[in-house]
Each structure stands twice: as structure tokens, then as C-alpha cells.
């Protein structure tokens, strides 16, 4: 090979070297890439093991969650069915306590009013007798199951329910209540199962089949094809009883060999009635296995991305080291000091260390020049610290007289160039009220360097709106401790100010209806000019029934509709307040007894009109109690005035609801 193209690894002239002594060590060392690969493998194995363990537990958690969902469905449906059942029983008990039993027509009338016409029947009998004392018109002959149920109701004050039985070829269930604690008569209601219990299949998915059975496993209600299966016994009833609990789940086989998972809930106050929900095991498993599969695929994808990223990062790390190694080998000697212990040697690192040790001398030679530059930066460091402390979006500096020397970021805020805000141009964008506040602070600020500026003001933005800003600043003093300039920042605090205003609003208003809340009634209630006024206390009739049957969402929408009607009804000088629940108060200013009565009647008429909530027609009423502000002491005692109006409201309800009543001294003294 010609001498001109030879690559030498010998040290340059004039350099000391102990390279030959280190050659055996370098030859026996492993490369850095080998250690990086081993490090990545060591780090990946625990993560992979932890991932497998996590996926197993996540899969179990998803399955338990799916099973708990089915159990919750049966529990919720069971509680709803039991609530409907007890409501029916409550209606029957109310009729037994206060009803008219003068003729069979009165029994027929009650069946029609409750929506249970034929084939439902109502029978009044005495246990031990085979003939009824009175029966509805369409009532068939008594069966032994009805007589036995009457005996059970006579022994207990609670309603008694029968199992499913057949009367004239039709499936039926019976409920019996005692007429009174000392009465020997029992009122027995016999009706088809669909009139007694019902289910809401919308609470479950399409693949879930729901049924309600009696204590012997016969179907009372079913979410699909109910007419076909009423009265039939559910499969695997023995498997359900073998669980030995009021709530649980089990797996069973279908007739076609497929597997089904069942969950059940036993209604506590019935003779063993049960809500059962069944779902194919394939659909149940798919619901929790699908997200687990997604997690596994996402984990594998993330692991692959992490491997590729690690390979790319290691390659990027090794590339400059290899380049430094080549340049060092061609222009420097290799020397290393071995310590007393065993040293882990990497080829590229040992060569690179030699190059860095020589570069250290060059770095030290530049320190002197950096110290000179540090002195020049000392003056600007104080400015930088001031701005960093302020943490600004707009930076400004003023002279000792308050004229702007520089403003950075003004155009993005105000929409005008920064140059137009110099001198006193920025002051034209400040709200007039806040400009006066700044002028009041200017005298002590411009004369005493110990003061700092911290004020909130409104600035007109590019779109013409006013936006809250916080201006903070501090003085820069010269060697004679005189103010040379002011440095500061503008921070956007509009969101915070609006949040504070929103909190103040919510403290005085009802979040649902937007009406003022009862906190506004804690101040003295008075009328403008000292004129007489009135306090009207409103309570919605039948609102709880709407809330219980149609749900809280419908109840909330109904309250909002009531609040809107009250706003339309009242004058600007009157005040309407939501007290909570379904209660409202109206403070009527400049009122008399006739005006208060007129307003109360208009409120009753307005609120008693039908409502259409989410496509459903809803009807409620309202009762009103009125307390007049006839004495100066009334206006200073809100709680006392509220108590008077509440007593008047109670009197209105006693008179039959949908009425209004005035507070009188007789009500205050406890007289009827």
C-alpha cells in the first residue's frame, strides 16, 4: 500500500502516550451497542411480566363488572316491581280504610278509577265463609286460594299476596288487605299478573331476557312474548333455588345446548316472587372480552412502538460516539488511569474520555472571557428577574413620570400597534373608572421606590369588549436610590373575575331554575316607600307522584317550567324565590289583601294548567298560603313572616288543596 494513503493510529509528535499499555483492555471490552441491547432486554422483561399479570386481573375485573351489571339490573327491576306492587297495595288499603262498600257499583267504580277493569274483580268477605259479603259485578266464584289468602291477611296487618293461579282458564294473582285493625272482613283484589307487576326491558340490552316469577317458578311477567309464556314454569328453577340466597347468579344450559347466565333478585315482601334476567353466555363473554382484547392489542402495539423507538434512540446515541471515536483514533493517543477496583470497560467510551480530557483544557481557557461577559450581563439580570417574578403576558416599562417607554405584546391584546401605546397612549384603553383608581395610586408610587404596583383594571380589547387585567410592577433605582424606570407586566385575569362573579351569582340563586334562593329572604322583607306587601308561600300538589313515576329528570324539567310560568306572571317589582324541593315564595310589593288574593288565584290557575314534558302530559296543582306585611315589625322578621305564610299554606291544604288561605291570628294561636 502506498505510504501516502496509510491510516496511522500512532500518537502525534510531542504527545505522551500509554496507549500500548491499554491495548489489551480495549481489545477485551464489549461495544456500547451490546450493553444497550442487554439493558433494553432487562428493562422489557419485568414490564412484559407485569403487563401479563395486569391483563389477567383486568379481564377478571371486566367479567366481575359485567356480572355486577346484570345483578344491578335484576335488583333495580326488582325494587321497581316491588314498588309498583306496594303502590297497588297502598291504593287497596286506602280504599279498604275509607272506601264506600254500600253496593257492588262502588267496587266497580274503584276498579275503573284505578285502571283495572275486567277481568279484574274485587271481593269483600269474611274468612271461614265460602260466600262473599259483597263482590264487583264481574267477579267469578271464589276459589280456595282466595279464601286461604283472606285467612293470611286477617292474621297480619300487612297486605298478603298469592302465587299465580288460574281462574276461568285465565292466569291471575290475588292481593288481600284487612279492612281495619278490629274488622273481621277482608278485601281481596284478583287481577291478571300484568296489572299487578310489570318490567322495564329498556334497562337492559337486547340480548338480556327478563322475567318475574312467583314463588313456584311460574312466569308472571316477561320482557318478550309475555302473553305466550305467562303461567309457564321457568327452566332450571331448581338451579335458582339451589343458590340459597335472595340475590345471585348461576349458569345453565338451553334446550339447544347453548349456555345461559342468569342473575336473580327475590322481592322481600312477596311470597317468594323473583326477578330473573338471562343472557347468552356468548354475548355476556363478548361484552367483557372485547375490551380486554383491545387492551392486549394496544399493549402489543405499544410494545412494538417502544422497541422501534428504543432501537432508533440507541442508533442516534451511538452515531456521534462512533464519529468521535474515528476522529480521536486518527489524531490523539489513548491513555487511561486504572483505579484500584475492577472497571467496566467500553471501547467507545474509553476513547471518547481521552478526547474529552483534552477538551477540558480548552474549556478552562474560555472561562476568563466568560467572566468578562458576566459583568456586562449583570445590569440586565435585574430586569430579567423582575419580569420573571411578574410572569407576564404583556411586558412594559415606564419612566419616572409614568410615560410608557416600551410595551411588548400590546398589539395582540389591544389590537393597535405597540408604538401607539407609548407615552400615555395606553391610558386611552383603560376603563374610565379604573383610570381614576390608577391616578389615585400614582402619587405615592412615583415618589417612593419601596412601593409596588398591583392593581386590577379593565382594558378595551380589539373587539371593543372590556377585559379584566392585573397590572403588576416594581421600580428600578439607580446608584443614588432614585427611580430611573418602572418595569412590570399585564396578566389576563378575566376568567378568574368571571368565575368569582359566577360564584357570587350561584350563592344567591337556585342552579336548577335560575330563580333567587332562600338566602335573599334572610334580609328584612320590605316594600318600596314603606307600602304594604304580601308573602305568598307556594307548594306544588302531586309533584312527588310525578317525580316518583316519571323520574327525577322529568321532575326537574317540571320545576323549570313552573319557574318560567311564575316569571311570566309576576311584575318587575315582585320577587319569586325557590325555597327548595317543590316550594316557592313570592314577595308581592305594594299589595293589599285583595291584590294578594287575586295574585294567588292567578298563580293557582297558571300552574294548574297541563304541562307537556318530553312528550308526556303532566298535571299538577298548587296550594298557597298568604301572610300580609301590615306592620313595620313584619318587614324586619323574615323567619317569622315565613312561619305565618307556612301556617296559612297548611290551612289551604287542609281545605282541599288547589286553594289559597290567609294567615290569621287564630292560626298563630293554634286555634282550628
pTM: 0.40
pLDDT of residue 537: 93
Residue that wins the pLDDT comparison between 289 and 158 = 158
- Whether residues 96 and 225 fall in one domain: yes
Bridge partners, residue 453, by sequence = 473
Q: What is the tens place of the pLDDT at every residue in 143-180?
A: 888 888 888 888 887 898 988 988 887 888 988 888 87
pLDDT above 80: residue 447: no
Lookup: cell for 270: 312477596
| pLDDT tier, 16 (very low <50, low <70, confident <90, very high otherwise) | very low
- Whether residues 480 and 613 fall in one domain: no
| pLDDT tier, 339 (very low <50, low <70, confident <90, very high otherwise) | very low
pLDDT of residue 6: 40
* Domain assignment of residue 573, yes or no: yes
- Whether residues 260 and 365 fall in one domain: no
- Whether residues 459 and 403 fall in one domain: yes
- Whether residues 350 and 273 fall in one domain: no
* Domain assignment of residue 226, yes or no: yes
Compute the average pLDDT of residues 94-117: 82
| pLDDT tier, 17 (very low <50, low <70, confident <90, very high otherwise) | very low
* Domain assignment of residue 325, yes or no: no
Burial class of residue 75 in the structure, from the number of CB atoms within 10 Å of its CB (0-12 exposed, 13-18 middle, 19+ buried): middle
Rounded to 5 degrees, φ, ψ at 454 are -155, 95
* CA 26, chain centre distance (Å): 64
Q: What is the tens place of the pLDDT at every residue in 478-489?
A: 666 666 676 666
pLDDT of residue 484: 61
- Whether residues 592 and 662 fall in one domain: yes
Give the count of domains, the chain.
4
- Whether residues 103 and 127 fall in one domain: yes
Q: Give the separation between CA 211 and CA 120, rounded to whole angstroms.
A: 22
Q: Give the separation between CA 285 and CA 291, rounded to whole angstroms.
A: 11
Q: Which of 275, 86, 271, 89 is nearest to 162 (CA)?
A: 271
* Domain assignment of residue 146, yes or no: yes
Helices (H), 114-162: 144-155
- Whether residues 582 and 618 fall in one domain: yes
Q: Give the separation between CA 387 and CA 403, rounded to whole angstroms.
A: 19
Angle between helices 347-390 and 19-27 (to 10 degrees): 90
- Whether residues 350 and 231 fall in one domain: no
pLDDT above 60: residue 436: yes
| pLDDT tier, 8 (very low <50, low <70, confident <90, very high otherwise) | very low
Cα distances from 264 to residues 213, 239, 481, in angstroms, run 10, 11, 85
Q: What is the tens place of the pLDDT at every residue in 24-81?
A: 545 555 666 677 777 777 877 888 788 787 777 777 777 788 788 878 888 888 888 8
| pLDDT tier, 269 (very low <50, low <70, confident <90, very high otherwise) | confident
- Whether residues 379 and 429 fall in one domain: no
pLDDT of residue 349: 60
| pLDDT tier, 12 (very low <50, low <70, confident <90, very high otherwise) | very low
Cα distances from 312 to residues 44, 197, 226, 307, 349, in angstroms, run 16, 67, 64, 9, 20
* Domain assignment of residue 338, yes or no: no
Which residue is associated with the grid cell 428600578? 476
* Domain assignment of residue 28, yes or no: no
pLDDT of residue 631: 58
- Whether residues 378 and 524 fall in one domain: no
Q: Please report, for the domain that includes residue 473, its CATH number.
A: 3.30.450.20
pLDDT of residue 662: 92
Helices (H), 391-511: 410-414, 432-447, 494-508
Q: Please report, for the domain that includes residue 554, its CATH number.
A: 3.30.70.270
375, 394 contact by CB (below 8 A): no
Sign of CA dihedral 492, 494, 499, 500: positive
Q: Which of 64-68, 87-91, 607-611 has the highest mean pLDDT?
A: 607-611
Bridge partners, residue 189, by sequence = 122, 175
199, 77 contact by CB (below 8 A): yes
Return mean pLDDT, the chain. Answer: 75
Rounded to 5 degrees, φ, ψ at 275 are -100, 125
| pLDDT tier, 336 (very low <50, low <70, confident <90, very high otherwise) | very low
| pLDDT tier, 402 (very low <50, low <70, confident <90, very high otherwise) | low
Omega within 30 of 0 (cis) for the link into 119: yes
Could you tell me the residue range of the domain that residue 257 belongs to?
65-284
- Whether residues 486 and 454 fall in one domain: yes
Q: Which of 469, 498, 527 is the last residue of a domain?
A: 498
* Domain assignment of residue 58, yes or no: no
| pLDDT tier, 15 (very low <50, low <70, confident <90, very high otherwise) | very low
pLDDT above 60: residue 205: no
346: DSSP letter: B
Q: How large a percentage of the chain has pLDDT more than 70?
A: 67
* Domain assignment of residue 90, yes or no: yes
pLDDT above 70: residue 22: no
Residue that wins the pLDDT comparison between 178 and 351 = 178
Amino acid at each position: 500500500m502506498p505510504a501516502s494513503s496509510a491510516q496511522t493510529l500512532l500518537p502525534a509528535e510531542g504527545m505522551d502516550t500509554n496507549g500500548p499499555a491499554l491495548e489489551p483492555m480495549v481489545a477485551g471490552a464489549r461495544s456500547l451497542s451490546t450493553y444497550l441491547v442487554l439493558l433494553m432486554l432487562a428493562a422489557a422483561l419485568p414490564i412484559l411480566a407485569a403487563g401479563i399479570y395486569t391483563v389477567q386481573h383486568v379481564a377478571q375485573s371486566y367479567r366481575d363488572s359485567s356480572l355486577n351489571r346484570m345483578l344491578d339490573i335484576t335488583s333495580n327491576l326488582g325494587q321497581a316491581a316491588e314498588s309498583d306492587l306496594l303502590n297497588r297495595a297502598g291504593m287497596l288499603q286506602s280504599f279498604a280504610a275509607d272506601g264506600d262498600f254500600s253496593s257492588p257499583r262502588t267496587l266497580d267504580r274503584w276498579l275503573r278509577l284505578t285502571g283495572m277493569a275486567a277481568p279484574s274483580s274485587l271481593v269483600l268477605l269474611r274468612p271461614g265463609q265460602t260466600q262473599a259479603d259483597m263482590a264487583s259485578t264481574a267477579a267469578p266464584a271464589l276459589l280456595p286460594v282466595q279464601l286461604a289468602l283472606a285467612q293470611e291477611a286477617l292474621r297480619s296487618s300487612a297486605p298478603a299476596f298469592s302465587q299465580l293461579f288460574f281462574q276461568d282458564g285465565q292466569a291471575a294473582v290475588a292481593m288481600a288487605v284487612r279492612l281495619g285493625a278490629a274488622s273481621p272482613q277482608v278485601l281481596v283484589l284478583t287481577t291478571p299478573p300484568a296489572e299487578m307487576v310489570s318490567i322495564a326491558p329498556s334497562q337492559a340490552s337486547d340480548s338480556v331476557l327478563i322475567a318475574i316469577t312467583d314463588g313456584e317458578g311460574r312466569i308472571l311477567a316477561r320482557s318478550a312474548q309475555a302473553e305466550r309464556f305467562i303461567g309457564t314454569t321457568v327452566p332450571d328453577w331448581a338451579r335458582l333455588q339451589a343458590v340459597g340466597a335472595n340475590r345471585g347468579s348461576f349458569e345453565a344450559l338451553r334446550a339447544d345446548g347453548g349456555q345461559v347466565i342468569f342473575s336473580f333478585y327475590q322481592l322481600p315482601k312477596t311470597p317468594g316472587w323473583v326477578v330473573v334476567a338471562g343472557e347468552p353466555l356468548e354475548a355476556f363473554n363478548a361484552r367483557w372480552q372485547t375490551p380486554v382484547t383491545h387492551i392486549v392489542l394496544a399493549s402489543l402495539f405499544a410494545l412494538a412502538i417502544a422497541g422501534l423507538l428504543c432501537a432508533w434512540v440507541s442508533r442516534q446515541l451511538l452515531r456521534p460516539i462512533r464519529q468521535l471515536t474515528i476522529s480521536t483514533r486518527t489524531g490523539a493517543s489513548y491513555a487511561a488511569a486504572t483505579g484500584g477496583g475492577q472497571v467496566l470497560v467500553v471501547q467507545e467510551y474509553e476513547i471518547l474520555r481521552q478526547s474529552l480530557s483534552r477538551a477540558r483544557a480548552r474549556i478552562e481557557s474560555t472561562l476568563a472571557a466568560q467572566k468578562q461577559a458576566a459583568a456586562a450581563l449583570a445590569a440586565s439580570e435585574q430586569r430579567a428577574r423582575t419580569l420573571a417574578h411578574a410572569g407576564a403576558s404583556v411586558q412594559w416599562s415606564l419612566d419616572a413620570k409614568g410615560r410608557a417607554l416600551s410595551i411588548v405584546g400590546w398589539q395582540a391584546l389591544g389590537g393597535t400597534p405597540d408604538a401607539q401605546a407609548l407615552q400615555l397612549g395606553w391610558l386611552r384603553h383603560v376603563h374610565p373608572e379604573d383610570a381614576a383608581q390608577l391616578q389615585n395610586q400614582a402619587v405615592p408610587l412615583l415618589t417612593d421606590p419601596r412601593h409596588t404596583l398591583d392593581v386590577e383594571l379593565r382594558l378595551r380589547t380589539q373587539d371593543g369588549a372590556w377585559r379584566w387585567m392585573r397590572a403588576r410592577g416594581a421600580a428600578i433605582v439607580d446608584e443614588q436610590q432614585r427611580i430611573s424606570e418602572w418595569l412590570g407586566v399585564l396578566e389576563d385575569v378575566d376568567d378568574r373575575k368571571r368565575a368569582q362573579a359566577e360564584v357570587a351569582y350561584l350563592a344567591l340563586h337556585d342552579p336548577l331554575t335560575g330563580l333567587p334562593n332562600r338566602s335573599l329572604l334572610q334580609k328584612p322583607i320590605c316594600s318600596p316607600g314603606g307600602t304594604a306587601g304580601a308573602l305568598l308561600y307556594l307548594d306544588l300538589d302531586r309533584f312527588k307522584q310525578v317525580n316518583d313515576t316519571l323520574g327525577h329528570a322529568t321532575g326537574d324539567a317540571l320545576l323549570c317550567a313552573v319557574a318560567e310560568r311564575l316569571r311570566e306572571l309576576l311584575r318587575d317589582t315582585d320577587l319569586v324565590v325557590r325555597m327548595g324541593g317543590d316550594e316557592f315564595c313570592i314577595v308581592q310589593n305594594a299589595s293589599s289583601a285583595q291584590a294578594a288574593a287575586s295574585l294567588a288565584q292567578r298563580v293557582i290557575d297558571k300552574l294548574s294548567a297541563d304541562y307537556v314534558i318530553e312528550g308526556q302530559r303532566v298535571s299538577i296543582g298548587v296550594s298557597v298560603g298568604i301572610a300580609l306585611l301590615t306592620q313595620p315589625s313584619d318587614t324586619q322578621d323574615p323567619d317569622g313572616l315565613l312561619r305565618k305564610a307556612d301556617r296559612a299554606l297548611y290551612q289551604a291544604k287542609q281545605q282541599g288543596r288547589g286553594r289559597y288561605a290567609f294567615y290569621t291570628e287564630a292560626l298563630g294561636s293554634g286555634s282550628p
